[in-house]
Each structure stands twice: as structure tokens, then as C-alpha cells.
Amino acid sequence: MENRTVVSEFILLGIPNTKGQETLLFIGFLAFYLCTLLGNVLILSAILADSHLHTPMYFFLCNLSMLDLGFASISTPKLLVSLWTKSRTILLGGCMSQVFFFQFLGCTEGLLCTVMAFDRYVAICHPLRYLIIMNWKVCAILAAGTWVTSSFHATILTSLTFTLPYCGPNAVDYFFCDIFPVAKLACVDMHVIETVTFTNTGVVAMTCFFLILVSYVCIVYSILKMNSAEGRRKAAATCASHLTVVTLFFGPCALVYTQPHLSKVLVTSVQLFGYVATPMLNPVIYTLRNKEVKGALWKLISSHTTAR
């Protein structure tokens, strides 16, 4: 397709109603970002260092930590630069990268949450066959499938967005480049891309949510059939962290995309929570509710302290 793009850069209008609070916001978002990096790196290091955690559940948790590291790095560094230097310009290539990686990592996390729900289903509903069903080959195929599928998904949507002609204006009414805020600036009718994008993203999200729901219906049924109260408690505890992560991921998406008439301030607040705070909270959720991870983290910290 002929490249008719005239605009070579975009201007990110950022967070609304922040005049005079840029320094305070910079400090807050920088703290969130550093905590996200530290928390997820610690989770990855603890799982890789402890052989007892080399199981399917923690393998998928490593994938989630890598996703959170990527998610936090899509928009936060640029947002920090904008708050500190007041420079809101982003080159066309940088905008394309933000759109691609946001779609790529978002789709991957949705699929990964679905895979983790299936893992919990097998562990609770078929415990004697768990290691046979969730062997390392199956885990590797499931994990690789989420990443590869998401890369195709992101490539299609990014290509659709940036093959449109952009003749100006170039002010993106958002704090990072996303499909709808960018595509609104195109010089052509947006009906086709809006329909394709909404259908594509909506189908992926709804399919993932439906499969997770089915998995947990089966899990709850199996838990209710257990005779041991201790067994029911342990089974419920293994699912609590995953359910919290699923809620934090799908909750903001559902609120924003099913309520199109929300105010811009509220939408931005929800989006900031989903894309800045959630990647920091995921390691905390799995650490606080998981004795094995806490033990591995303690051993990791103790070994480094002793080495010094």
C-alpha cells in the first residue's frame, strides 16, 4: 500500500488537569516504576534460583513477570520524560512501537491468564494426572502459543492503524499512543478500522474471559465435592492469587470499553491504574499469598547477604 503518511511525529497531550503537579506526579510514577522493576526481577530471580519452584505454575508466573516488566516499560518512561521535561513529542516510529507492544503484551497477558486458569483446573480437578497432562512440552507449547499468537494479533492491528494517511492534526488526546486515540487523527473515514479493531480485541478478551469462567466453574464444583476442609482451603488458596490478577487485568478493560461515556479524567485514572499500578501489584499478590515464593525470596536475599 502506498505510504501516504505526512505526519512524522505526534504530540501526547498526557494526563488531564495536572498543571502545577508535574513534579509530584513524576515522583509517584517513578516510584511505581522502580517498584515494578524490583518486584518482578525478584520474583524471576527467586523462581529461577529455587529448584523446588521449577513447576508449571511457577513457569507461567515467570512469563507473567516478564509481561509486567514489558507492560510497565511501554508508556511509563515516556510519561516520566514528559512530566520532567515538559516535552510531549513522540516520533512516528516511537508511536508505532507503543501501539504494537501494548497490543502484543495485552493480548499475551489475556491468553496467559487463560492458560494459568487451565493449569489450576488440571491441578485441582485432575491432581493425580497433573504432571502427565501439564508436562514441560505442553507448558512450553502453551507459553510459546500465547506469545506467537499475540505477535500476529499486534502486527495486524498496528499495520491497520499506520497504513492510514495522517495529514494533521497530530495531537493524541492520551498519555501514550493507543489505537483509537491515534486512528482518530487519520484523514479518512474510521468506520472500517474501528469495526475491525473492536471486533478483534473484543473477541480475544471475551474468549479468554469465557474460558477462564468455565475453568473456575469446574474448579468450584470440584472444591465443593471435596470431603476435607483442609483440602478445600488449600485448593481455594491456590486460586485466590490468580483470580485477583485476572480481576485487575480484565476489570479496567471492561470498565473502559463497555462504558464509552465515562469522563476523560475517570478513564485516564482507570487506565493508569491498569497499566502502571497493576504490574507492580502482581508480584505483591503472588508473594503475600504464597509461602513457597516468600521462602524462595528469603533464601535469595539471605544468600546475597551472606555472600557480602
Per-residue b/e over 128-141, b at no fewer than 16 CB within 10 Å?
Answer: eebeeebeeeebee
Total-model pTM = 0.87
Nearest C-alpha neighbor of 243 from the set 202, 279, 286, 273: 286
Domains, the chain, with CATH or none: 9-307 (1.20.1070.10)
pLDDT tens digit string along 280-307? Answer: 888 888 776 677 777 877 887 777 666 5
Joined together, the cell numbers standing for residue 224 give 465443593
Query: Tell me, what's the pLDDT at 62?
Result: 92
pLDDT per position as a tens digit, 74-91: 888 888 888 888 888 989
> Locate cell 492503524: which residue?
161
Residue 11 contacts residue 169 (beta carbons within 8 Å): no
Condensed to tens digits (0 to 9), the pLDDT of residues 180-198 reads 788 888 887 666 666 666 6
**Cβ-count burial 194-222 (b if 16+ within 10 Å, e if not):** eeebeebbeebbeebbebbeebbeebeeb
**What end-to-end distance do the CA atoms of the chain give, in Å?**
59
